[in-house]
Amino acid sequence: VPAAPSILRRCRSRRGGKRVRFAQVTVYYFARRQGFTCVPSAGGSSLGMAPRHHRARRYSLGQFAHLRQVSHRQHLRLHLRREKLRARRRELTQNGTVPSAEAAGLTLADVSDDDLDVGQVEVGDYFYLQPLPTKRRRALLRAAGVRRIDAEERQELRALRLSREQCGCLCRLTCEPRTCACSQAGIQCQ
């Protein structure tokens, strides 16, 4: 009696011929706008983007990997330069307790590349999105041409952050539909 063909072998051979391979990366560029869709952890002026892209570029996988590595290294260098500037200002002001005209006059240009330990940090391990302070978000918006930053967004974002702190209802052991916030919102009691 001949052995029945294996189901596993059939699946393996069928799967081997159909592979997805990527040859290019398409990067879409959008103008920066005030967000209204994201909630920063503090302050107002959330960052967003225009509804339509204004430019698109195609790269090979190798080109895109190199472009990202260069970009990440530039961001890392800028981050290390800012950290070094903060440290120098702290030294000159005795940990921020004594005002110093010299510390106030320092800029990023005063920190040279020789002062940075870029070689000590692995770019791939370091790079991730960093939260930006409100002043930097506002500066980015102004640099992108946003003339009027909506000040009401700050109060809306604060209200959203406060509402997210309270989740569910105050019911214990049994649900009281008349007083249960979940029941009144039409969801199962949390």
Each residue's pLDDT tens digit, 6-47: 666 555 555 556 788 888 999 999 999 998 778 888 888 889
pTM of the model: 0.58
pLDDT in tens, 73-123: 888 888 788 888 888 888 887 776 777 788 778 888 888 777 776 666 666
DSSP string, 118-129: GGGS-HHHH--P
45 burial (CB, 10 Å; 0-12 / 13-18 / 19+) is buried
Q: Name which of 118, 136, 125 is nearest 76 in CA terms.
A: 118
Q: What is the distance between the alpha carbons of residues 117 and 111, in angstroms, rounded to a whole number? A: 12
d(CA 144, CA 177): 50
Structure tokens at 38: 């994201």
From CA 100, how far away is CA 91, in angstroms rounded? 10
**What does the domain layout of the chain look like in residue ranges?**
24-160
What mean pLDDT is reported for the chain? 81
